[in-house]
Structure 1
Amino acid sequence: MSPSTLELVETLSGIFPGDYSSDTDTDYVPDSEEDSDSSHSIRVKKNNDINIISAKCCIPDSDDDFEAGVSTGTVQTHAAVVHNLVNQDFEIRNETSSTTFHVIRGDETLDQITNFEVQNNDDYLILETQSEPQACRPKKGRKRKHPEHTMAQKKNVKYANLPYHGKNKLMPSKNFIDYTCKCTRQCYFRVSEENRKEEFEKYVLLGSYEAQLLYILNNVKESPKSRSYTLINNKSGKKKARQYRRNYFICDIEVCKDMFTYNFQISSKKVDISLLKKRSGTALKDNRGKAQGGWNKTPQEDVEFIKNIINSLPKYESHYRRENSDSKYLKPGTTIEKIHEIYKDELKTVYGTLKRPVSINTFKRIFYSNFNLRCKPLKKDTCNKCDSLRNKIKNCSSEEKTILVAEKEEHLKRAEELRIQMNQDLQRAKIDEKFECLTYDLEKTLPLPRIPTNIVFYKRQLWLYNSGIHAGSNDVGYCNIWVEGEAGRGAQEVGSCLVRFIKNDLSHEVEDLVLWSDCCGGQNRNIKIILMLKAVLDSHPRLKTITLKYLESGHTFLPNDTDFSKIEYQLKYHQRIYTPDQYINVIKSCKKKNPLKVYRMQRNDFFSTSKMEKKIVNRKTFVTKAKVNWLRTKKILLKRDEKYTIYMENTDGMFEELNIEKRLRGKRLEISEEDLVLLWPNGKEIAQAKLDDLKSIFDFIPKDCLDFYKTLKGNDNITEDVDGFDCVTDFELLIEQTEQTEQDDQEDLLQDIV
């Protein structure tokens, strides 16, 4: 037991000896999990007429759980004060059920306590327990930058008897005053000044409002009045006669009311409230300001205004978390600070100077407590695995640290080796005319229209896509541009851009082609990309092999990223863009040396592999019966002479052969470029809500640019995704395979260390 806890116990009970120690108390049970063998941490202190109980207990969800002692949640109780303790049952109720509990006595055990209000009588009083309220979204794990400015901090300072800032002035700490009463009992002489000062210092340092009420209850006894009188010709001004009489004690010596209140520097109202809570059976919890919300409560009108602002923002679902999360996402790049600026502008527009905007902290509190929204961060070139391993290394044992450090070093070594290979391929492409190295990647989505006004934060915008291809032979970047209403951003769109480049821009002298990309399995590492490359490899006059190589996850900086950074830097000087052609002009002018070449993708440029997939078998095992794992694949080799064979190399550096041939009654089904059919022959529809938003901002778009937007088609059945995907994608999310891959990597690393 800590010294502060011991002092509080002595203060509340009033009879403990000065040399009291918890080590000599047979009823003491450690209140920390490290010192206790039981899941129930219970501490009981006995006194003549008061028991102080604090417990860390479990809430049963059902009768079976209660009988078996199974718990699903934990709450923390503060204390319980029980006068004239006897064995007695009491009932704890909530909105849906009620549970009966038994008040303990002596060496009995406290089985269960919940955080609901207790229906009790004068014999006992149990404080209301505190539990974490259910929020609309998981509580953020960051700390406040200035905790000393909070109301809770002021309260802690006040009950620690330190100077604190009140509403309008600085409140000094309380100092003992030697008060002399004028009653006939001569209380001044009955309790010495030294004892009164000692009790005063104990009281002002209790640390909380509830503890002070407990102290008052322990030293003020209330009993029914012994006789009644009838008021006739009432001249005292009393409207109602008292029903109770009170006795005040300091150091177990009875004193008058004035001596008690002046000694502890409290008002008689605080004594009334303490005893009223006891009589009514309510919890000794500070409810001041709860009914009206306090003097600084945000008016409900302002809260509704903020909620309307947030509700008007476009919201998206995440394709990757749609099944296991109810969260929705705001537009990429949107932050709470930006929304707060929008709110201040709208408030000024509606009310002018009549209303002051709420602070950013109040705005955040309303945002987090009323909405399950997330601000999707922009992609950054950081490695999640490195960050995760770094944090694990800081908080682990020495044995685990050895394994984690080795895993991190292996990860960084593999990333560096792959980057060296890519640079070597890019340099080889400059000197070997029969060899070409390409890197390809998708740029982050660009909005249409691009308007520097707050109105766009309330509207869903059209997305423009840019699939970049960088050639190593001439160090030139190629940009393939299309918009959301023409195609999506799946594997078949990315593959179509590669097919178009190989057929139109690749040198006819090239025999070996190497493609480098990041580790996005949905867009770069799947059977659809492979089939499209198989088709173009079969029809190309000189190509013999196509090799796909993938950088290490988290360390995938490509030459395309440099091209994209040039585009985004140039966009800072173009605040208003209304059509894809205007974006194309910006892209063409962003680089002076080796300017980017731009191609505007059309409907006839996007192909589907649906027909080809019916002529092959996407087997899940290699020829050696080993399981196919696309996510562990670091290299894929396609040969012109082996049309139905795919060679895949995993992290171990071993090639495995995958046969995709499909035979029907001994007949081979041929695949060729003719099997590539149009992906979106009639164009791609967009969400109807997005189309309605675009139409609502036609007034902000020049008339000569409206023809482009009028060709768009909407569909109510399309669910918009924060990542730009539709409700049905052309690739699978290999979540389970990803988890299994990470588990296999850790097991392999552990075996290598052993």
Structure 2
Amino acid sequence: MIQSRKPDEWAPEEDDITSLSNVYDGQLQCDEETEILMELEAVPESLDGGIPSDVKMIAVAVDNNDEPMLFAENVGDEIIPVVDKEYEKNDTLESCSSDSKHPIANTVLTEYHSDLNYQTETCSSSNESVSSAATIEKKGRKRSRNCKKWKNNIRKTKKAAGEEYVSAKQKVIPAKSMKLPCGVDCKKKCTLNISSDDRASIYSQFWSSELLVDQKRQFIAGCIEEVPVQRVRTRTGSRAGKRKYSLRYFFTVNGKKISVCRTFFINTLSISQTSIRFALTKRLSSGVVIPDQRGKHEPPNKIGPEVRNIIREHIQKFPCVDSHYSRNKSQRRYLGSHLSISKMYQCFYEECIEKKLSQAEIPKQWLYADIFNTEFNLSFKEPDNDTCDTCDEFLIKLKDAGSVEERNELQKKYEAHLLDADNRYKYKRKDKEGARAQPGIKMITVDLQKCLATPLLKNCQSFYSLKLWTFNYTIYDATDKSADCFVWDESVAGRGGNEMASCMMRYILDLPNSIERIIIWSDNCPSQNRNQQMIMCYSYLLMMKPSLKCIEHKFLLRGHTHMEADTVHARIEKQIKSLPQFQICTPWDWQQLIRLCGPNIAVKEMETDNFKNFNDLQGCIFQSKKKTVTNQTFFVSKVVHMKFLAETPGVMHFKTKFCQENFEQIDYHRVNRRSTRQLNNPSTSSLPTLLPIRNDPKPISTKKYTDLQKLLKWVPQRFHGYYKNLRHEAVHEDD
């Protein structure tokens, strides 16, 4: 029994040669991993006595993993697999389905080499050659072309289906429709032998979009018989002796062939005599219609594979790196930003000159670019996100490992590091799904955007001058996909723990009372997220907002901190590039630009009195401690999960590993009667009022102030007063 297998599983069996006749009986079988797309159901009468050696049997199959289709072909005395090069997958599905109801779909595909003069390239029976031929090429950096959406192919498809289409000369060709049958005077009485319903069924099947042009021609040729001329008239002149045979037309209805006249045949199928004449011209003596050969001939000037291999080898010489954050979603790799296709081709050209190749032998740049774009998923753009220091360190150590044991040990640690990063992303995704399913939970991600230079100038001289920094602390609500951007500049406040905690407090106090639990995800920046000010802020908020029952803050792994808040920052940077005419002269211009990024982004301006000093809480109701309740040393830098409950005010529950089963605790209570009474009865007692960090604007450095004055010649006159009135003093410039 012939079985269709995957390329790497093919192994010709002895019984395959002797069982070829079983294929004609519709007994073609396959294993569980493949699906037969065509079964041969009929046996030609000429083959009842045996199968001649020049007959090629074709069995088209494809597995569930979209492996390439195979031909089972008998060549001489053996059966070998052949990679399908003649039929595309879609064509095979349409033309070779065993369940097809079309008259031509189940025609036996038995072809004679002597009639078709057709040769098929065969592969070696070894597993290696078949596997290499079936290898799927790597996706290129450019979008794969979709030939089905080409205008010319759409026009061909509509024409083959009998639908209305616009020709290449922009002429509207009306849709096909079944014409009137022959009259009552017809000698064959076609309208009495074939009902209107059967006639409509034949028409709809013939013009179905699932039937290809070659199948339509095969159907037409199969419904026409050539018989010798029964009556010959004596003719003279140009028409003398031209007609040697007559045509008889048939339709098969309910398994019975019914003879019809030419008018009935043509009007039922809505075709012309030219279509009939062309189908008969293509028909061989065996009854098989030669497929359309247009577009299947190899051009005489086709570029050989050895030329393409030289280009591929040269492209592979350039070192490239993987994308850090998107390596699980994309296979794109990155070349150096100093390179380009033109520069790479120039290197290739010089290499060919060194090999003393003539100008005619050197491939052109268009071919080099085509191979680069279609066969390699490479980019010259640097990855948008920084790579992980730990990952880079592991990769260097793996390359320099001196022994197999050392390499295996490093590989285990590296895989554990990646597993930890992936698990934290999974926990974040789970929190997001849970927050969307429960209205009382809010899941947010927070991040401080990189400093925004103000004014934003692009000339060379301004590049070396210090500018005023504008800060954007983004809180992204993953529940309803909205974002709040808290914006201020360095003349208002800095970017430490008190500033971040003040933005967080303003955001949480504005939430509706229906929110009982807040889950926060952020990076590990100690000065912004993982510090004593944020701990005091969360404890204070649970007393300020009685409807809030729980606040959790979780941290992603260092170097693997890509979050939803980063997408807002990317949108802002994209907006800057898309609006080159938008001038950024003051921090308020940044606020207007952020508002243009989308309706789901809200901008909240932070003033000097909005930034509170949470360090004051440690002197009245809280106290900084370095020991847990079990007298263990506490390091806030090792915390990965912080949890604050309204039922235990002033106590932080924390984990140093996500796999840790139970939370550890650290009590920030200040041991005195007043603080204990305030913590136990926060709703009835008067909580301490948080004072601003400073009452006056924050001064900038004198050096920065001097540089800003130099930049005023590129800033409109109406904004000069703002920069001249900035407070400044001789302070250390940390940026």
Given the two structures, how large is their TM-score scaled by the length of structure 1? 0.44
Q: Which has the larger radius of gyration?
A: 2
TM-score (norm 2): 0.45
